Structure 1
Amino acid sequence: MLQIKSYLSKIYDIKSVLLIGRTKEFQELAFWLLRKKGIEKIHYCSQEENNICSDLIEPCTLKYMPHSRKQIDAVIFDRGCREMAIDIQEIAPRFFIGRLDKEEEYFDLWEQYRQISDFIYLEREKTIWPGANREDAGSCEILEWQRGEEDVELSVILPVYNVEAYLPECIESLLKWKAPYVEYLFVNDGSVDGSADVIGRYMEQDRRIHLIDKKNGGCASARNRGIAQAKGRYLGFVDPDDFIEGSMFYQLFRRIILGNYDLAYCGYKEYYEQSGNTEKILNDCLKEPYDSGTYRQDKVQKLAVNTRVAIWRCIYKKDVIDHHQIRFHEDLKRFDDLPFRVEYIFAAKSAVCVPEYLYYYRLGRKGQDVACSDEGFFVHFSIFEHLDKYVEKFKDKAKTDLLQVIKIQTHGFALSKMKGKRKWEYWYRARQDLNKNTGYFRTLCLIMMYTGKGNLGWYTGMKLWPFKRN
């Protein structure tokens, strides 16, 4: 109740209220409103007998409401009163406020009232996992929404370049969720095949699809164009040669708005095109505290080292992206998703996961980054130049350490894939990169703490494999 009172204390233009309650605590709220808000009239509807006695508080039932019901500014309902609240949308209150038990569904309430109310505030009890610190986990999650200038809540951005053969499967998987408040922005990055024609045909069937044409500038520039033109409060990304479970964005969006989280993510599967087989990517933090949601920034930041890059199985808050001026670096020829992911996670203050595998990452197509040449891995040094500058602004030792771990993981991966003579040069530069901001012994400690002994060999030089200098 303290959270609801705090929310109401910020509102000064409510004159008439309908309270739907079943507890003595909610009766007390009626008198609190009269004292604190200067409200002219309160209609009190209760499932149980009440002892309210006031000229300004009028007992009623949902069946027999006063004629002034159309002038009610706010509906406020109690736990266990969800079904009563969902049946009174004809009242069309400007404010729709309530609290729910942890078993009570909230999303259909939000979907219904977002069409008629200007402000929605829903508070739901939170399930606390065994062994959790209750102060860290929080006792409830809050959905706080205000009508904006645009009717779009989520913008999904797809950079398109010569993927005509894959687009139908991708688009059809997206369109399975019928929400009218989603837009799909296909940024055609100078494709020379029939990609634009395929998108155009689907545009005729679904008004949520939009085609943005631009000159070829690379995937980063296409995603940035999408960000610039997105109308949604939240952003998602999909590679158009991949596809999703039809419920993926529904589940992510539904989860992120309850708790007002900065980041929501799910698991993904690798889809092998030649065989049609799939494989879940495990050990990707689909567990507590992220399953229940966390507001501990140290836990959020550790996602940068404990999850795979995979930016396309997440949704992000656009306000965070704009406030921190996070964009894809267009000077990078590949792996531009790595710095975006790190920059966003370091800026985010909260995160939640959906512990299901809902995105299909296609493998087996010629030209993907997973088939990178030895030369291509050298882009990592440009990536870390960007990230060094970004992290330096925070003046935060914890972030510096985590960036060091990301470097260890990334350079170790590159060296495990390289086969040519340039492997020695890469190793030498990787050592320089790691020693630039963090001392040798601290780096050894970080390797043991986060990545295990596997990276000790190449970092210390004790295990140079067959790439001796020629």
Structure 2
Amino acid sequence: MREHLVTIIIPVYNAEKRLEHAIQSVLKQSYKNIELVLVNDGSTDNSLYICHKYAKLDSRIKVISQNNSGVSSARNRGLKESAGEFVMFLDSDDTIDSETISELLPHLYNDESDIAIFGMSFDYYKGDNFKYNRELSFKKNLSISSNEIKKHFFQMYDANYLSSACNKLFNSRIIKENKITFEENMAILEDFKFVLDFMENTKKITVTSNVYYHYYNDISYGKLGRRPDIDYMRNFKILDYKLRQFAEKIDLKDEYSCGKINGMIFRYYITAIEKSFIEDKKYKYKYEQLKQIMLDNDLNYAIKKANPSNIKLKILRYLFKAKSTKTLSFIFWINSIRKNKGV
């Protein structure tokens, strides 16, 4: 049996603390016909040195450097430079199990699937000390055609099988033929859009309940607030349009599905508003900003059609429909205070 080349792409930016763990997890794969593409995205620490150190030790490693342009740009550069028939993405502080490729690859060439999706373990550390983990995985194994995706879409979404690009093995032919790239105008949820773009062009997908990917979280730093470089509303609008387009493509048009899709979108817009209230600006400015957001047509369409999944969102939806700007502003303000205090 011919061994298929698998490319693993790691975008690298100031990752010296955990980068070696990520690289070693790739080099320890029991499946050996791999290509590791390390894309140094303008690191200012020792990351590039670490990349070159490992490239000297293993000829399967390719190191690329570019000016700092963001994770989407780095991944896109990795895709351009990749030679593999199949491709995976790994973040520079995460790891994969040694049997990941060996066990996933047969699904793509034996089952003729275009993508294999698997579970993730969210591993929480305090410094170098492992504390606990939380696994998210699908309850059963599936091999389904593109026409059947709609039957499992929401369960896959809830199990984190759609929103990350890292818990997947992709057929690179689909990516190249359809010119699929990461949206460089997005700085959050760009993975989700990439996955939806890919799945629009699939004929068959495999879903496995096995957990192979380990997502690193350092709880020493507590919860992160708003990233000032991100326009959350603009990012979520891009995803809004993509989600609606994808739902149309896979025929998620019934009333229940419409309510669920708009509920997801509504939650994203709420997140954008919450992030805006974490900004270090006066309450009056935040209040006026909320008044403007409440006029947004896309948000109001989501509010009208949404069937929220929890009581908090149901209450917020009611207040938005009632145009209760003062009450909403007070709720978001109190919530931002609690988050800034780490409550």
> How high is the TM-score relative to the length of structure 2?
0.76
Provide the residue aligned with 2:293 in structure 1: 429
| Aligned 1:368-387 pairs, distance under 5 A | 371-373=224-226, 378-385=231-238
Provide the residue aligned with 1:245 in structure 2: 97
CA shift, 1:216, in A, is 1.3
CA shift in 2, pair 1:353/1:426, >3 Å: farther
Q: 1:204 is aligned with what amino acid?
A: K
Q: In the alignment, is the contact (CA less than 8 A) between 2:187 and 2:235 conserved in 1?
A: no
CA shift in 2, pair 1:258/1:168, >3 Å: same
Which protein has greater RCO, CA pairs closer than 8 Å, 6+ apart?
Answer: 2
| Aligned 1:213-224 pairs, distance under 5 A | 213-224=65-76
Identity %: 21
Separation in structure 1 between the aligned mates of residue 156 and residue 291 of structure 2, nearest angstrom: 23
Q: Secondary structure at the match of 2:142?
A: coil
Separation in structure 2 between the aligned mates of residue 357 and residue 313 of structure 1, nearest angstrom: 9
Provide the residue aligned with 1:158 in structure 2: 10
CA shift in 2, pair 1:153/1:218, >3 Å: same
Q: 1:276 is aligned with what amino acid?
A: F
CA shift in 2, pair 1:306/1:325, >3 Å: farther
Say if 2:184 is the partner of 1:321.
no
Q: In the alignment, is the contact (CA less than 8 A) between 2:200 and 2:246 conserved in 1?
A: no
CA shift, 1:215, in A, is 1.5
Q: 1:467 is aligned with what amino acid?
A: I
Provide the residue aligned with 1:466 in structure 2: 330
Say if 2:126 is the partner of 1:263.
no
Q: CA RMSD in A?
A: 3.4
Say if 2:309 is the partner of 1:457.
no
| Aligned 1:95-114 pairs, distance under 5 A | 113-114=1-2
> How high is the TM-score relative to the length of structure 1?
0.57
Provide the residue aligned with 1:408 in structure 2: 266
Q: Secondary structure at the match of 2:107?
A: helix
Q: 1:180 aligns with which of 32, 40, 60?
A: 32
CA shift, 1:188, in A, is 0.8
Separation in structure 2 between the aligned mates of residue 458 and residue 377 of structure 1, nearest angstrom: 24
CA shift in 2, pair 1:406/1:327, >3 Å: farther
Q: 1:464 is aligned with what amino acid?
A: L
- The alignment of Structure 1 onto Structure 2 pairs a total of residues equal to 310
Q: 1:373 is aligned with what amino acid?
A: R
Q: In the alignment, is the contact (CA less than 8 A) between 1:158 and 1:187 conserved in 2?
A: yes
Q: In the alignment, is the contact (CA less than 8 A) between 1:272 and 1:362 conserved in 2?
A: yes
Q: In the alignment, is the contact (CA less than 8 A) between 1:300 and 1:348 conserved in 2?
A: no
List per-residue Cα deviations over 1:367-419 (Å, max 9, x = no partner).
99x72417567424334236516854985452794653431342345566775
Provide the residue aligned with 2:340 in structure 1: none
Provide the residue aligned with 2:339 in structure 1: none
CA shift, 1:158, in A, is 0.5
Which deviates more, 388-397 or 159-168? Answer: 388-397
Q: Secondary structure at the match of 1:362?
A: strand
CA shift, 1:439, in A, is 7.6
Larger Rg: 1
Provide the residue aligned with 2:306 in structure 1: 443
The unaligned stretches of length 5 or more in structure 2 are 321-326, 335-343
Provide the residue aligned with 2:77 in structure 1: 225
Q: 1:292 aligns with which of 142, 146, 170?
A: 142
Separation in structure 1 between the aligned mates of residue 42 and residue 200 of structure 2, nearest angstrom: 33
Q: In the alignment, is the contact (CA less than 8 A) between 2:187 and 2:230 conserved in 1?
A: no
Separation in structure 2 between the aligned mates of residue 326 and residue 352 of structure 1, nearest angstrom: 20
